[in-house]
């Protein structure tokens, strides 16, 4: 049996998962990057006792959660609201509540702001609407850039699919289809180009050999820097708009 609960730890609301286990003799806490805090309790344990127990383990929990920044996305009350910022092409866009001619449910880019119709600020649908907007923006930009880069590189691909993979930025198949994570649109453009060049190069070199990186470097001399950027921002980017 699995159940989602919430508690407050150091003033932050945390959502955690409670699992009842027939085999567990004691309460056990686990913190993982993908799932956040999980509390495994013996089958007959009274859930009402948990808040006190968690308070007493506050320190342990905070320090472990701090190591998984992805966890931020799992904390409740973290719903986006007007004035918050979201990352886009390496910059921050401010969310602004605004009626606009495109009507209910619309999200429109306007300079450094993202104008969102007021109705979307209710019931947690904003994240969904934003994801939709990001996916569309990602598909457009990535298709354009892949077109351009593939002709520069003289490497053809068949089709581009935009996905929401948890752990990868891009991939390619033997059928010469490329797939990219929509969250890439949050990264600066040179980083997006690097990921596209990386996948296109795989259509020639299906490995990460020295030769592979030499080919990448021909079209993206600063690939090391971009690779590092992705690594450093991975948790951040995937935590935003958790999907
Ligand atoms: Zn690769």
pLDDT for res 101: 65
Mean pLDDT of 145-164: 95
Q: Is residue 64 part of a domain?
A: yes
Mean pLDDT of the chain: 84
Name the domain count of the chain: 3
- Measured distance CA(93)–CA(111) in Å, rounded: 8
Residues 32 and 90 in one domain: no
Residues paired with residue 88 on neighbouring β-strands, in sequence order: 91
Residue 202 structure tokens: 């795989």
Residues 148 and 222 in one domain: yes
Higher-confidence residue: 31 or 141?
141
Distance 141 CA to ligand 1 centre (A): 21
CB 183 within 8 A of CB 87: no
Residues 143 and 235 in one domain: yes
| Residue-number span of the structural domain to which 90 is assigned | 85-123
Residues 215 and 173 in one domain: yes
**Cα separations in angstroms, 129 against 94, 119, 122, 142:** 15, 11, 11, 20
Taking each helix axis from N to C end, the angle separating 210-219 and 223-239, rounded to the nearest 10 degrees, works out to: 90
Nearest residue to 14 via CA among 82, 81, 62, 60: 62
pLDDT for res 149: 98
Distance 225 CA to ligand 1 centre (A): 15
Residue 154 falls in which region: left (phi positive, over 0), alpha (psi -120 to 50) or beta: left
Distance 210 CA to ligand 1 centre (A): 12
Residues 61 and 108 in one domain: no
CATH of the domain at 163: 3.30.2010.10
DSSP state of 173: -
Taking each helix axis from N to C end, the angle separating 126-153 and 189-202, rounded to the nearest 10 degrees, works out to: 60
Residue 10 structure tokens: 């150091």
59-95 confidence digits (pLDDT tens): 778 777 765 543 344 333 456 778 888 899 999 999 9
Mean pLDDT of 158-162: 95
196-232 confidence digits (pLDDT tens): 999 999 999 999 999 999 999 999 999 999 999 998 8
Residues 69 and 91 in one domain: no
pLDDT of 128 above 70: yes
| Candidate ranges 1-10, 26-35, 153-162; pick with highest mean pLDDT | 153-162
Distance 174 CA to ligand 1 centre (A): 13
Strands (E), 111-197: 113-116, 159-163, 170-172, 177-181
Distance 226 CA to ligand 1 centre (A): 13
Between the two ends of the chain, the Cα-to-Cα distance in Å is 23
Residues 63 and 93 in one domain: no
Residues 45 and 23 in one domain: yes
Distance 14 CA to ligand 1 centre (A): 35
Mean pLDDT of 103-118: 85
What confidence tier does 186 reach under pLDDT thresholds 50, 70, 90? very high
Q: Is residue 79 part of a domain?
A: no
Strands (E), the chain: 2-9, 12-21, 28-32, 36-42, 85-88, 91-97, 107-110, 113-116, 159-163, 170-172, 177-181
Sign of the Cα torsion 42, 48, 54, 56 reads negative
Distance 195 CA to ligand 1 centre (A): 9
Higher-confidence residue: 35 or 207?
207
Distance 216 CA to ligand 1 centre (A): 10
Report, in angstroms and rounded to the nearest whole number, the Rg of the chain calculated over CA atoms. Answer: 22
Question: Given the DSSP bridges, would you call strands 107-110 and 2-9 parallel, antiparallel or unpaired?
Answer: unpaired
Distance 75 CA to ligand 1 centre (A): 32
Q: Is residue 80 part of a domain?
A: no
Distance 21 CA to ligand 1 centre (A): 40
């Amino acid at each position: 049996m699995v159940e989602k609960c919430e508690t407050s730890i150091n003033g932050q609301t945390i959502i955690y998962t409670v699992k009842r286990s027939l085999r567990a003799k004691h309460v056990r806490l686990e913190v993982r990057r993908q799932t956040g805090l999980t509390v495994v309790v013996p089958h007959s344990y009274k859930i009402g006792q948990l808040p006190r127990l968690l308070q007493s383990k506050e320190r342990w929990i905070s320090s472990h959660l701090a190591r998984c920044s992805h966890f931020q996305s799992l904390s409740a009350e973290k719903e986006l609201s007007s004035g918050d910022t979201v990352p886009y092409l390496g910059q921050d866009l401010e969310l602004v509540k605004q009626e606009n001619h495109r009507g209910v449910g619309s999200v429109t880019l306007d300079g450094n702001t993202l104008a969102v119709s007021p109705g979307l600020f209710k019931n947690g649908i904003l994240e969904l609407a934003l994801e939709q907007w990001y996916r569309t923006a990602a598909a457009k930009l990535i298709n354009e850039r892949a077109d351009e880069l593939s002709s520069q590189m003289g490497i053809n691909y068949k089709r581009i699919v935009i996905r929401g993979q948890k752990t990868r930025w891009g991939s390619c198949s033997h059928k010469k289809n490329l797939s990219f994570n929509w969250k890439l649109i949050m990264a600066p453009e040179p980083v997006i180009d690097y990921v596209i060049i990386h996948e296109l190069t795989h259509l020639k070199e299906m490995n990460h050999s020295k030769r592979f990186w030499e080919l990448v470097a021909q079209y993206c001399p600063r690939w090391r820097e971009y690779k590092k950027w992705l690594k450093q921002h991975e948790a951040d980017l995937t935590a935003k708009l958790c999907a």
